[in-house]
C-alpha cells in the first residue's frame, strides 16, 4: 500500500514537471546541511573565529566553551539552529539561574547571542529567525550590568 502511494506521488511530480530524482537529491542535500549546521558545530566555528579575532587568553577561551558544553550542548547542541525554539534556550538559561549562577547564565546568553549572529553572518540562518538578544530569558540585571 505504501509503495503505491509513493509511486502515485512520483507520478504526480513527473506530471507537474518535477524530476523525482532531482527532488530527492535536493531534499537529501537540505537534510545533510541541516545535520552539519547544528548549534554545537556553529558554536565551535564561532568560538575558533572569536578566539583569534578577540585575542582571548587560553583560559578565557576554555571557560567560554566549557560553559556551553555544560549548560547548552546537552539540550540543544545537536539541533539545527533554525529549529531551536526560544523556549528551549530559555530553559537552558533558567537551569543555570535556578542553581544560583546568574552571572554564568548572562555569559551563556551572550555567547549564544554571538553564535546566532555568526549564523546570520555566514548565511546559515535567516536574519528574521535570530531571536536571541539581551532580553532573552528574562534574566534580571546582575551586579556587573548597570
Which residue blocks in the chain are alpha helix, DSSP H? Answer: 2-15, 20-36, 39-53, 58-71, 73-76, 86-98, 102-121
* Interval 25-47: pLDDT, tens: 877 777 766 666 899 999 999 99
CA distance 112 to 118: 10
**Confidence (pLDDT) at 61:** 94
**Confidence (pLDDT) at 139:** 84
**Confidence (pLDDT) at 143:** 54
pLDDT along the chain (146 residues), means of 10: 80 79 78 74 92 92 96 94 93 94 94 93 87 86 52
**Confidence (pLDDT) at 86:** 93
* 128 phi, psi to nearest 5 deg: -65, -20
**Confidence (pLDDT) at 146:** 42
CATH fold for domain 20-137: DNA polymerase; domain 1 (1.10.150)
* Interval 72-90: pLDDT, tens: 999 999 998 989 999 999 9
**Confidence (pLDDT) at 141:** 63
CA distance 136 to 100: 18
In sign, the C-alpha dihedral spanning 45, 47, 50, 52 is: negative
CA distance 52 to 63: 15
Q: Are 64 and 44 in contact (CB under 8 A)?
A: no
Residues listed for the chain = 146
Amino acid at each position: 500500500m505504501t509503495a503505491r502511494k509513493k509511486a502515485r506521488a512520483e507520478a504526480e511530480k513527473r506530471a507537474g514537471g518535477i524530476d523525482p530524482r532531482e527532488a530527492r537529491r535536493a531534499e537529501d542535500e537540505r537534510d545533510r546541511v541541516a545535520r552539519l549546521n547544528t548549534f554545537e558545530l556553529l558554536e565551535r566555528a564561532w568560538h575558533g573565529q572569536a578566539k583569534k579575532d578577540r585575542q582571548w587568553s587560553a583560559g578565557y577561551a576554555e571557560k567560554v566553551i566549557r560553559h556551553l558544553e555544560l549548560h547548552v550542548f546537552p539540550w540543544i547542541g545537536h539541533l539545527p539552529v533554525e529549529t531551536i525554539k526560544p523556549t528551549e534556550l530559555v530553559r537552558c538559561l533558567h537551569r543555570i539561574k535556578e542553581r544560583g549562577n546568574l552571572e554564568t547564565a548572562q555569559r551563556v546568553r551572550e555567547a549564544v547571542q554571538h553564535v546566532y549572529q555568526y549564523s546570520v553572518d555566514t548565511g546559515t540562518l535567516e536574519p528574521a529567525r535570530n531571536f536571541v538578544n539581551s532580553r532573552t530569558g528574562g534574566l534580571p540585571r546582575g551586579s556587573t550590568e548597570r
